[in-house]
Amino acid sequence: MGTSVQQALEQLKLTGVRMTPQRHAILTYLMDSLTHPTADEIYKSLSPNFPSMSVATIYNNLRLFVEAGLVRELTYGDDSSRFDADLTDHYHAICKSCGTIVDFDYPPLTEVERVASRETGFVVEGHRMEIYGLCEKCNKTSIQ
């Protein structure tokens, strides 16, 4: 993982964001999570410990983290955004059946960006590559 929770907290302090117990919990949950959770999943996991916390609180804090550059929002055609605290260059494999997203490493496709820029005249700011298929679990169930 790139940033530690402690580094993230320092970064937020610099931007003048007050660290509340809820923010700390959301950030820690995201950084420990390998599943790219939705706001609802974060809410379900944290609400037993924070009964006063609403889904709106979670959304607002996720927006804050995204704006602060601590968290990436992943939107994949379905209705709910997923959030990823791993900001290193990596790609995602997505299960078309259950929606699971798994990280994998591959050398960044910078050549693709260069060609896109050259052929379109765009100033390229980044790209995203998604691999689609069935995860191991869904593949096993579909075979039976």
Q: CATH fold of 5-84, please?
A: Arc Repressor Mutant, subunit A (1.10.10)
pLDDT tens sequence for the chain (144 residues): 456 778 888 888 887 888 889 999 999 999 998 889 999 999 999 999 999 999 999 999 999 999 888 899 998 766 679 999 988 888 999 999 988 889 998 888 889 999 999 999 999 988 888 899 999 999 998 776
Cα–Cα distance measured from residue 54 to residue 26, given in angstroms and rounded to the nearest whole number: 12
pLDDT at residue 3 in the model = 65
Write down the residue that tokens 């790219």 correspond to: 36
pLDDT at residue 1 in the model = 45
Residue type, 130: E
3-state secondary structure of 72: strand
Are the C-beta atoms of 62 and 26 separated by less than 8 Å?
Answer: yes
Domains of the chain by residue range: 5-84, 91-143
Architecture in CATH for domain 91-143: 2-Layer Sandwich (3.30)
